[in-house]
Amino acid sequence: ERKAKLDAGRVDTVFKVGDQVLLRTKELLDAADIGKLRPRWDGPFTVAACPSPNAYTLALPARMQCSRTVNVDRLKPFHARVDAPPAPGPVSDPGQEGEHEVELLLNRTEK
């Protein structure tokens, strides 16, 4: 009876190869690293394969030292913001082409 009630409200999440997903970070962090202000989701990552209906293989960067195949319960779809402002471009002073940004910042602090 209880299982039937829980299963009635369950929605199976299905992703296709190439979809963008977010990965829950709770299992990736140590107990000391988990905090209120830590991000709960990381990504977006691309679904690379679907070895079983309950697991997906992700294209993860080399910095992440974890298994690339994860359970569907640790994933959620990524929805890109359409109204997000574009990323700001590099800061440059007129007439200073070719000079590195670090040197520009150092010159500003010395004056």
The pLDDT tens digits for 74-109 are 999 999 888 877 777 766 656 656 556 677 677 766
- Would residue 14 count as lying in a domain? yes
Number of domains in the chain: 1
Residue 16 has pLDDT above 90, yes or no: yes
- Would residue 98 count as lying in a domain? no
Residue 68 to residue 1: CA distance in whole angstroms: 36
For residue 48, name the pLDDT band (cuts at 50, 70, 90): very high
- Would residue 32 count as lying in a domain? yes
Q: What is the pLDDT of residue 5?
A: 82
Q: What is the pLDDT of residue 25?
A: 84
Question: 55, exposed or middle or buried, with CB in 10 Å at 0-12, 13-18, 19+?
Answer: middle
- Would residue 92 count as lying in a domain? no
CATH number at 7 reads 2.30.30.140
Q: Is the dihedral of CA 85, 91, 97, 99 positive or negative?
A: negative
Range of the domain at 6: 2-77
Q: What is the pLDDT of residue 63?
A: 83
Residue 23 has pLDDT above 70, yes or no: yes
Weakest-pLDDT range from 39-43, 55-59, 83-87: 83-87
